[in-house]
Amino acid sequence: MATQMKPSISSRTVGRLCVYRRILSQLLQKGSEYIFSRDLAAISGVSASQVRQDLMNVPAWGTPQNGYTTEKLLLAVNGCLGQTREMNSVLLGAGHLGQAILHYFNETQPKLKMKAIFEADATLVGSPLYGVPVFPVQELDEKICLLNAQVAILAVPESEAQEIAETLVSAGICSILNFTPARLQLPAHVFVENNDIQLSLERVAFYAGQAMSEPASQTLSEGSLA
Q: Quick: pLDDT tens for 120-170.
A: 999 999 889 989 999 999 999 889 889 989 999 999 999 999 999 999 999
Which of 81, 97, 112 delimits the end of a domain? Answer: 81
Question: Nearest Cα to 137, choosing from 124, 128, 148?
Answer: 124
Residue 73, exposed/middle/buried by CB under 10 A (0-12, 13-18, 19+)? buried
Instruction: Tell me the per-residue pLDDT of 180-198, one tens digit each, with 9 for 90 and over.
Output: 999 999 999 999 999 888 8
The Cβ of residue 185 has, within 10 Å, a number of other Cβ atoms equal to: 9
pLDDT score of 104: 85
Helix (H) or strand (E) holding 115: strand 112-119
63 band by pLDDT with thresholds 50, 70 and 90: confident
Which of 64, 81, 98 delimits the end of a domain? Answer: 81
Distance of CA 52 to the CA centre of its chain: 22
Query: What pTM does this model have?
Result: 0.71
**Does residue 130 sit within a domain?**
yes
- Is there a single domain that holds both residue 156 and residue 178? yes
Pairing of strands 68-69, 34-35: antiparallel
Report the CATH number at residue 123: 3.40.50.720
pLDDT score of 223: 53
Range of the domain at 168: 87-199
Number of domains observed in the structure of the chain: 2
pLDDT score of 83: 59
Which of 65, 81, 97 delimits the end of a domain? Answer: 81
- Is there a single domain that holds both residue 106 and residue 189? yes
